[in-house]
Amino acid sequence: MIYVEANNLPSHIGIIMDGNGRWAQLRGRERVEGHREGSKAVRRIVRAARRLGIRALTLYAFSEQNWARPELEVDALMQLLREFLLSERDEILENGIRLNAIGNLGRLPAVVRTVLDPLRNESATREEMTLTLALSYGGREEIADAARDLAREVAAGTLRPEDVTEHTLHARMPSLTVGDPDLVIRTGGERRISNFLLYGLAYAELHFADVLWPDFTEHDLYEAIASFQRRERRFGLVGKPAEPILASEGEVATPASTDGAASEKAAENAPVLRLVG
């Protein structure tokens, strides 16, 4: 049983959906079949997030660097994206979901744009959850775009150089209009960020799941959120004083470590305590 507290949900979750290719290869199938299975996981997780009451979900579906993959794979991904948007259209609109997209959208082929753009417009006033697809997206590229915008404003005389701050830069990042990500999940076993939401990641909690994206279930999402809820976010400040835990009469115990990963592990396998004194 996983307990998720309704009053302490991450308001913005980002997911690096990784592992489609390996999922297929492990089964002796074409990588594209892994992407097809991956789009079923997208459906599952969007529904689960909406039901939980998550306000913003950002899915890393295609990076700017992914264009360099074999043409056949890129074409198949674009086709699957189109099919996803077509098949989810009604559910998105009926469930109050605003569908948004970030990234270098100009690079997307017409087969995608002709379904993506109308759905973005039609769903623009929906307010239950914002579902953002990161497509042809790169975190460094987004930072460079925002810097270029500011440079243009300075050159035009509408902004003073001293007004180039972390806030004005933040305000020009499309990925952060829904706020900084509180929790970023990466599936597929790699412990890296691969150019996702770099600027907004400053104080995000990270959760790495070993499960390949096509196998990622609602249960895995709840587990990631429960892990988020066990952490103390300090934002550079001083944390709550560590409370001694009474193990048994006369003995005082503290959690094995105050280090984030270890205390998370402690909570997972509770009670894991190291006796002191």
**Residues near ligand IPE (CB under 6 A):** 16-22, 60-63, 66, 77, 188, 190, 192, 194
With CB under 5 to 8 Å by kind, the binding choice for 20 among Mg ion, ligand IPE, none is ligand IPE
With CB under 5 to 8 Å by kind, the binding choice for 66 among Mg ion, ligand IPE, none is ligand IPE
- CB nearer to ligand IPE: give 111 or 226: 111
- CB nearer to ligand IPE: give 35 or 150: 35
**Residue 18 CB, nearest distance to Mg ion (Å)?**
4
Find all residues with CB under 8 Å of 49, minimum gap 6, and list them.
13, 57, 129, 221
**Residue 249 CB, nearest distance to ligand IPE (Å)?**
52
Residue in 33, 137, 26 with CA at minimum distance from that of residue 77? 33
Known catalytic residues? 18, 66
Residue 235 in tokens: 């934002």
CA angle 225, 85, 6 (to 5 degrees): 20
With CB under 5 to 8 Å by kind, the binding choice for 61 among Mg ion, ligand IPE, none is ligand IPE
With CB under 5 to 8 Å by kind, the binding choice for 251 among ligand IPE, Mg ion, none is none
- CB nearer to ligand IPE: give 167 or 191: 191
- CB nearer to ligand IPE: give 76 or 150: 76
CB atoms closer than 10 angstroms to residue 36:
19
With CB under 5 to 8 Å by kind, the binding choice for 100 among Mg ion, ligand IPE, none is none
- CB nearer to ligand IPE: give 65 or 114: 65
**Residue 110 CB, nearest distance to ligand IPE (Å)?**
20
Residue nearest to ligand IPE (CB): 21
Residues that bind Mg ion (CB under 5 A): 18
Residue nearest to Mg ion (CB): 18
